[in-house]
Structure 1
Amino acid sequence: MTFLELLKPQAVKVLSAASSKKRLMHDIAELAETAYGLHAPAVVEALMERESLGPTGVGHGVALPHARISGIEEVAGAFILLERPVEFESVDRQPVDVVFSLFAPEDAGVEHLKALALVSRTLRDGGLCAKLRANPDPSTLYAILTADRGSQAA
């Protein structure tokens, strides 16, 4: 699995700010609706339900909100870069500005886990995150995320 398989160019967005974690979830859902035709209210509900199990802020300003969504046929992603970080209840208590969200079919098994592992492993790279933060242009961000970094198979 690669970022090219997970992410459409229209699923990448730069936001000046989100007023709260919940507002960010709405922004993610609106992006998922635009890029993948998902029903935004259902996406918000699924993301918030998953978040209630434990925050998906993984540290170093990165969050990986994800959920299983009815009506989607394959794992898909959305990327948001925030110009001003938002409080996210992350494991390191730092606000987030790099957000990669994953949406998986309700019956997705190993594919969802492979996608989550790929995104998590990739965004643990501090150099890559610095490059993302330095390029607030959606097409540039898409190019950075989908660039071949050797074997990306999970």
Structure 2
Amino acid sequence: MEKTNRSYAVSKSDEEWRAELNPAEYQVLRQAGTERPFVGEYTDTKTEGVYACRACGAELFTSDTKFDSHCGWPSFYAPLAGDSVEYIEDNSLGMRRVEVRCATCGSHLGHLFEGEGYDTPTDQRYCINSISMTLRPKAG
């Protein structure tokens, strides 16, 4: 994962992250990995609630902005608040992408794509790994 000069509200050593996260979570959240498509816990979830960072618990997305993109990962058209995520230019794999990270702890969440033609208010697709989030269902 690209290092930034930014300091985060939640900052832990590599050893602390490894102790708190299982190997698959660590690989995605702390090493900018990607889970396989169509296997994630939240890919097709319709449950109302808030999606929080699995590493630090910061609230990131709501079910209100989740949509069916059929890409194999949960998709959202906007974050919960503009400052809940941060963006890092990602030129790996021979393409230009925008990496999305948790603004509270710097964990990798997924990527942001624009201009794909989805019928959403923003024409943006936050393609987020299920394993990087925890769904907090709406009380009801």
TM-score w.r.t. length of structure 2: 0.26
> Could you tell me the TM-score, scaled by structure 1's length?
0.25
Q: Which one has the bigger strand percentage?
A: 2
Whichever structure has more helix as a proportion of its residues is: 1
